[in-house]
Amino acid sequence: MDRIISIDYIKGMLYSVPAILLAITLHEFAHGYVSYRLGDPTPKREGRLTLNPLAHLDVVGTLCLLLFGMGWAKPVRINPGSYKNSRIGIMLVSLAGPLMNYLLAFLSLLVFGLSGLYGHGFGEWFSYLALINIGLGTFNLIPFPPLDGSHVLEELVPAARQLFERLGRFAMPLLFLCLYTGVLRRPLEYVNEAVLNGMWRLVVKVL
């Protein structure tokens, strides 16, 4: 039994680690690319318009993703003053990362569906990739700093910015505590399952 468990664990890690690296890399690349396209040279100047995972990894965020299935990457620095409309620009840049994860999840499910349809065995890894991307996208939409959803909320509700500023350095420990205690797990699992089912229904229609 121990041998079986260890083999399953190793297999899971071999599937999960490259999927996590890809999910994080494209998430942060999307932030940087959208900001760059809106007129901000900062992401390009700081080397964030790259598909090299090492440029985007945050050690704590990556460990949380491995341990809890929820995490974050190193934030892309932006200069909203470069945008024609800073409020809209910040929201677009903030949403770019999670939307990239959802897009990658849908494409992964499409490949997974095609692999089953044509009897190929390469699709299992894409199921991991889909689940990890849905988890990363949903988690980062939570309106709590330093997650992407907090920046969107700040632009929609100015009072939220004041609240987050008061939290200051306590925001990250609070977020980590929520991850450690599992407070976020059940609601996020519900949302992730709804997103996964919706995407899969769309994939079935496409196929």
> Residue 77 has what DSSP assignment?
P
- Which residue in the list 28, 124, 189, 193 is annotated as catalytic? 28
CA angle, 87 as apex, 84 and 88 as ends, to 5°? 70
- For residue 72, what is the enclosing H or E element? none
User: How far apart, in whole angstroms, are the C-alpha atoms of residue 102 and residue 135?
Assistant: 9
Give the confidence band of 1 by pLDDT, cuts at 50, 70, 90.
Answer: very low
Residue 187 confidence (pLDDT) above 50: yes
Look up tokens 């065995």; give the residue. 121
* Percent of residues, the chain, with pLDDT higher than 70: 89
Report the 10 Å Cβ neighbour count for 71. 23
**What is the per-residue pLDDT for 2?**
46
DSSP for 154-174, written as a single string? HHH-HHHHHHHHHHGGGHHHH
The mean pLDDT value for 17-35 works out to 93
Question: What tens digit of pLDDT does each residue of 85-117 get?
Answer: 999 999 999 999 999 999 999 999 999 998 876
Q: Which of the residue ranges 1-10, 158-167, 180-189, 190-199 has the most confident prediction, judged by mean pLDDT?
A: 190-199
Residue 28 among the catalytic residues: yes
Q: Which of 76, 77, 82 is nearest to 38 (CA)?
A: 82
The residue among 142 and 11 whose pLDDT is bigger is: 142
Question: What tens digit of pLDDT does each residue of 120-176 get?
Answer: 666 788 998 999 999 999 999 999 998 999 999 999 998 988 888 888 888 888 888
Tokens of 135: 């988890």
Question: What tens digit of pLDDT does each residue of 15-24 get?
Answer: 778 888 899 9
CA angle, 13 as apex, 7 and 18 as ends, to 5°? 140
